[in-house]
Structure 1
Amino acid sequence: MDAELAVIGLGSIGSMALWQASRLSDSVVGFEAATPAHGRSAVGGDTRLFRMVYFGKPDYYPILERSRSLWAELEAETGQEILIPTGGLSIGTANGSFINSLLETTRINGAEHDVLSREELAERYPQHNLRPDDCAIYDPRAGVLRTDRAVSAAVAAAQAGGATVLQNTPVDSITETEDGVVVTSGDRTWTFEKVIVASGGWSRRLMPDHLKAVTETHRIVLTWFIAQDGTQFSPENFPVFSRLHGDRSLYGAPAVDGVTVKASVDAPMDGRRRTTPDPDSVPRDLTREETEKVTEIVTDFFPGLIPTIVRSDAFPDLFTEDRHPLLGWLDENSRVYCATGFSGKGFKMATGYGHIAAHEALGKQTVEGLDFVRPDRFKTR
């Protein structure tokens, strides 16, 4: 037995699982196909939105609460600023389905929030060009996460806690035996008591057929624009946002560099399908249609942004059929634990997911109320 636990993939979730596992065991190994926070993983793109007012099941709220506390712990442990408080805006049609769904979720989970009328929104945040029927839900606990910094900090903290990190070591296969789980990379093998698979878009290669059938690797496109007045779009003045109006949907983050604002089309919200390329060959350049779509929306929504894309990129992530993660054992007798399939919305809760995965994989705790993310929900299909 080479170690008690292996974590395969040290990206968004795997880095956090490794950090948490290093607090629980002195026998942990992390495998990374390239290097942590490398430019082609789902970590790419500098920032992600953190929101407590969340469009989705109320069951996510305890994970969001735990994640927020753990982001603070990671900052304290490493001395890095990772979660920058900005507040958050969800903008949509008053009494429309988007706003009403968010309000219903907050009613159930008790998330702190304020409802802003169009007049209040225009006065406080004039950066947004509003429709007559717009309103917003303000999330005072929202912020922007620095992704590369977060992953690098978590891996460094795990190593400081005694974890071993194997970089440039892509895993070719995992095989369960009576004695443990055999991990193979090239002509090398290791045996572990338990394994966490957290390799995002690359996870399908290590999955059983019934999970391959309900997952796809999707291409996530991100775009940035230059602010005419960087101060107006600074983290102090411009909250993270998600906006939906008709068939137009956009989300983004402030200019953490003082110049460029992230403003990207939220494809799942406006009903368009993403392409599903192999994770090793995701097209990085935007299509003409993608460029025209986001430029048109940004021109309409933000008169204070120069309507020309100054930076764009694309990254792979694993999406499940129901858009909920795969978090848990492959089955009740398995030694392989899934922490993948976060469907483009995992980073905000990465610390919470990593905490759950590490504690469950090492037998320290079983978290209740997570049936909707357990992999065995697809077992009988």
Structure 2
Amino acid sequence: MIGIGGMGSATLWHLARRGQRVLGIDRFDLGHSMGSSHGLNRIIRLAYFEHPNYVPLLRRAYELWREAEQQTREQLLFITGGIDAGTQDSRIVQGALTACREHDLAHEVFTARETARRFPGYKLPDHYAVVFQPEAGFVASERAILAHASLAVSAGAELHGREKVVTIEPANGRVLIVTDQDRYEAGQVVVSAGGWISDLIPALRSTAVPERQVLGWFLPRKPEFFRPDVFPVSNIESEVGHFYQFPTWGIPGFKIGLYHHFHETGHADELSREPTPADEEALRKGIRHMFPDADGPTLRLATCLFTNTPDEHFVIDILPGAPEVVVASPCSGHGFKFASVIGEALADLATTGSSKLDLSLFAMKRFEGASEASLGAG
């Protein structure tokens, strides 16, 4: 297993609990802040505006998050309800409604004023429509990685941090993994390297593009409006950008992010990890536009990475021409909520070559030129 982040840690657990001999390798520390899963938490939601085919995977993801909670005796999944909002004809509103109707999800549709009466932290423009789905919430992402990693170790997995994979060499049903410290031979390798995945899988070089993101936590002027029991998580397509929000949790501040932020792309090693005043101002535009009671002092800013495909759907597949290699991610900024179920799917692919879960949306063949297996240095 290359990469012990959200997807990698879950895959290690699923493989180890099946009795597989498994090794996980990460170039950074376990639970590091260089990738895509730090910053305390990530949204989970069933009313999936991106595509209704995600909903069955989400239902299984909820089951597996709760199973991990039972195994670790630690809460990882927090239910707050969730809002998808924008103009009536926006992609977010129409996509959420399509997912709810196709999969018979409980939901309500509110006006902006009805939303403000029920959830006073929200001050949306009057012309916005709001889809509320009560089962949404967030996953404690940093805790979840460590929980999956601990479960994997308890089931017999071996984990190595601070070890960089240099090459992957598949041949004749085996694969050689060369790192900066050692060489390992295995029957299968699962590559879930996030923003560095194209270093190891060059076939994804033009379709797995790292992008710099910034998250912010701000001290609300009215903290009582932003507690988890009165403030649902949300995705909002607004005139000033697509923003996503969380209630106060862990840090005593309202958390907000701007999807695609400044559209800054490049190699994962070269993107700046230092937040700037311009980053803060971009987030405050969303706060002032829709959450004025949260427009207090800055508590924390943090950068993370998206790794985007052109269609913003995942890559979950066996590498064409190299059946010894399973490829996982990039997840285009909306993948962590699926980590529990993608870990199960990757374990299926690595052990049997197929999965009972429908992964057709995530096949590599949808990208031109992906049919040729290509591996390289990283």
- Where 2:286 maps in the other structure, the secondary structure is helix
Query: Is 2:207 aligned against 1:214?
Result: yes
Match of 1:230 among 216, 223, 226: 223
Partner Cα separation in structure 2 for residue 370 and residue 279 of structure 1: 27
State the 1:234 CA deviation: 1.2
1:348 match:
337
The one-letter amino acid of 1:13's match is M
State the 1:339 CA deviation: 0.7
Query: Is 2:110 aligned against 1:121?
Result: no
Partner Cα separation in structure 2 for residue 335 and residue 179 of structure 1: 6
Match of 1:20 among 5, 9, 14: 14
CA offsets 1:38-64 (integer angstroms, 9 cap, x no match)? 121211111110111112111111111
State the 1:179 CA deviation: 4.8
The one-letter amino acid of 1:314's match is T
Question: Matches of residues 48-87 of structure 1 in structure 2 within 5 Å?
Answer: 48-87=42-81
Question: Matches of residues 316-335 of structure 1 in structure 2 within 5 Å?
Answer: 316-331=305-320, 333-335=322-324
The one-letter amino acid of 1:133's match is H
2:40 match:
46
Match of 1:296 among 285, 296, 299: 285
Q: Is the 8 A contact 1:224 1:260 kept in 2?
A: yes
The one-letter amino acid of 1:284's match is R
Q: Is the 8 A contact 2:49 2:93 kept in 1?
A: no
Partner Cα separation in structure 1 for residue 367 and residue 285 of structure 2: 39
The one-letter amino acid of 2:145's match is V
Q: Is the 8 A contact 1:31 1:167 kept in 2?
A: yes
State the 1:144 CA deviation: 1.3
- Give me the TM-score of the superposition, normalised by structure 1: 0.92
Question: Which blocks of at least 5 consecutive residues in structure 1 are unaligned?
Answer: 1-6
- Where 1:250 maps in the other structure, the secondary structure is strand
Partner Cα separation in structure 2 for residue 340 and residue 245 of structure 1: 28
Distance 1:148 1:344, change over 3 A: same
- Identity across aligned pairs (percent)? 27
Question: Which blocks of at least 5 consecutive residues in structure 2 are unaligned?
Answer: 371-378
Distance 1:292 1:192, change over 3 A: same
The one-letter amino acid of 1:221's match is V
CA offsets 1:210-239 (integer angstroms, 9 cap, x no match)? 321222111121111111233321111111
Distance 1:336 1:276, change over 3 A: same
Distance 1:187 1:239, change over 3 A: closer
Partner Cα separation in structure 1 for residue 135 and residue 120 of structure 2: 21
Q: Is the 8 A contact 2:240 2:286 kept in 1?
A: no
1:150 match:
144
1:310 match:
299
Across the aligned residues of Structure 1 and Structure 2, the Cα RMSD in angstroms comes to 1.9
- Where 1:222 maps in the other structure, the secondary structure is strand
State the 1:95 CA deviation: 4.4
Distance 1:96 1:213, change over 3 A: closer
Partner Cα separation in structure 2 for residue 11 and residue 258 of structure 1: 22
CA offsets 1:287-314 (integer angstroms, 9 cap, x no match)? 4443322212212211211344331111
1:189 match:
183
CA offsets 1:1-54 (integer angstroms, 9 cap, x no match)? xxxxxx100001101111111111231111111222112121111111011111
- Where 1:278 maps in the other structure, the secondary structure is coil
Query: Is 2:255 aligned against 1:266?
Result: no
Task: Judging by fraction of residues, say which structure has more strand.
Answer: 1
Q: Is the 8 A contact 2:51 2:95 kept in 1?
A: no
- Give me the TM-score of the superposition, normalised by structure 2: 0.92
The one-letter amino acid of 1:68's match is Y
2:272 match:
283
The one-letter amino acid of 2:205's match is K
Match of 1:366 among 355, 358, 375: 355
The count of residues paired between Structure 1 and Structure 2 equals: 370
The one-letter amino acid of 1:160's match is S
Q: Is the 8 A contact 1:51 1:141 kept in 2?
A: yes
CA offsets 1:113-141 (integer angstroms, 9 cap, x no match)? 11123332121011111212123111111
Partner Cα separation in structure 1 for residue 180 and residue 292 of structure 2: 53
Distance 1:376 1:25, change over 3 A: farther
Match of 2:133 among 126, 134, 139: 139
Partner Cα separation in structure 1 for residue 206 and residue 20 of structure 2: 36
Partner Cα separation in structure 1 for residue 120 and residue 181 of structure 2: 59
2:106 match:
112
- Where 1:26 maps in the other structure, the secondary structure is coil
Partner Cα separation in structure 2 for residue 112 and residue 244 of structure 1: 22
